């Protein structure tokens, strides 16, 4: 079930942060796209690889760790060379990242809309990642809460039937949650950056 909790982290949880970009009905004439981007990391490595370096970068280069990061606003703020370099340096950290995009020209099978198609690609990414870890015991999908999109996420991501198997052949449970931007969770801010860049 999708909940709105804070993250209950175990070291063996594969955390997947996911953000959407565009409109699933391709209704924006300037940018008729829909997609998702995100990042994934083991619970054991989240603080070291994403949380601490991201907050440090925000503190030193983005006007403070307590200031929300929105990729769109950042891009419109005419970022300095130092800020862009800092983001690129952060992105050298060894964590998974993914993006899947579609646009008004994407040919979709009958009965499959853009949201469902991108959801299938997202699940596929997670399935492939889980298979590379022998010790993963759970997967936590963390979606940026969007109000409008949350119902579609529930429609298209059937957590109970994802059928994820880790590298040791064990079936892995999946939980999902929505988190609001105001919590400034570093993984979600990074997902926003990746989704926006892909879009």
pLDDT of 1 reads 39
pLDDT digits 0-9 by tens, 93-131: 899 989 888 887 888 888 888 888 888 888 888 999 999
What rounded mean pLDDT belongs to the chain? 84
Q: Which of 42-46, 108-112, 134-138 has the lowest mean pLDDT?
A: 108-112
Give the other-Cβ count within 10 Å of 27's Cβ.
10
Q: What is the mean pLDDT of residues 41-63?
A: 91
Q: Which residue has the higher pLDDT, 67 or 9?
A: 67
Q: Which residue has the higher pLDDT, 140 or 196?
A: 140
Query: Is the distance from CB of 6 to CB of 145 less than 8 angstroms?
Result: no
Percent residues over pLDDT 90 in the chain: 28
Query: Is the distance from CB of 22 to CB of 35 less than 8 angstroms?
Result: yes
Q: How confident is the model at residue 8 (pLDDT cuts 50, 70, 90)?
A: low
Query: Is the distance from CB of 95 to CB of 39 less than 8 angstroms?
Result: yes
Q: Which residue has the higher pLDDT, 1 or 69?
A: 69
Give the β-pairing of 13-22 and 138-144.
Answer: parallel
pLDDT of 149 reads 67
73-99 burial, b at 16+ Cβ within 10 Å, e below that, comes to ebeeeeeeeebeebbeebeebebbbbb
Nearest of 30, 34, 51 to residue 153 by alpha carbon: 34
Nearest of 51, 38, 59 to residue 139 by alpha carbon: 38
Q: Which residue has the higher pLDDT, 9 or 38?
A: 38
Q: Which residue has the higher pLDDT, 193 or 24?
A: 193
> Rounded to an integer, what distance in angstroms lies between the CA atom of residue 52 and that of residue 54?
6
Query: Is the distance from CB of 127 to CB of 161 less than 8 angstroms?
Result: no
Residue 151 has pLDDT above 70, yes or no: yes
Does the pTM exceed 0.75?
A: yes
pLDDT of 6 reads 54
Q: How far is CA 119 from CA 37, 90, 131, in A?
A: 11, 27, 19
Q: What is the mean pLDDT of residues 29-53?
A: 88
pLDDT of 2 reads 41
């Amino acid at each position: 079930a999708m909940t709105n909790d804070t993250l209950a982290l175990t070291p063996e949880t594969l955390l997947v942060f996911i953000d959407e970009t565009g409109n699933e009905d391709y209704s924006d004439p300037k940018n008729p796209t829909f997609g998702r981007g995100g990042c994934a990391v083991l619970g054991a490595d989240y603080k070291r690889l994403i949380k601490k370096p991201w907050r440090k970068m925000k503190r030193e280069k983005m006007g403070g760790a307590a200031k929300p990061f929105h990729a769109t606003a950042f891009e419109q703020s005419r970022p300095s060379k130092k800020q862009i370099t800092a983001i690129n340096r952060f992105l050298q950290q060894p964590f998974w990242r993914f993006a899947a995009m579609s646009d008004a020209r994407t040919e979709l099978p009958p009965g499959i809309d853009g949201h469902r198609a991108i959801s299938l690609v997202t699940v596929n990414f997670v399935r492939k990642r889980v298979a590379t870890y022998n010790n993963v015991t759970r997967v936590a999908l963390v979606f940026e809460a969007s109000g409008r999109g949350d119902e579609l996420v529930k429609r298209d991501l059937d957590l109970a039937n994802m059928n994820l198997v880790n590298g040791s052949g064990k079936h892995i449970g999946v939980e999902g949650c929505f988190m609001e931007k105001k919590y400034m969770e570093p993984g979600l801010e990074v997902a926003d950056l990746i989704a926006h860049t892909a879009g």
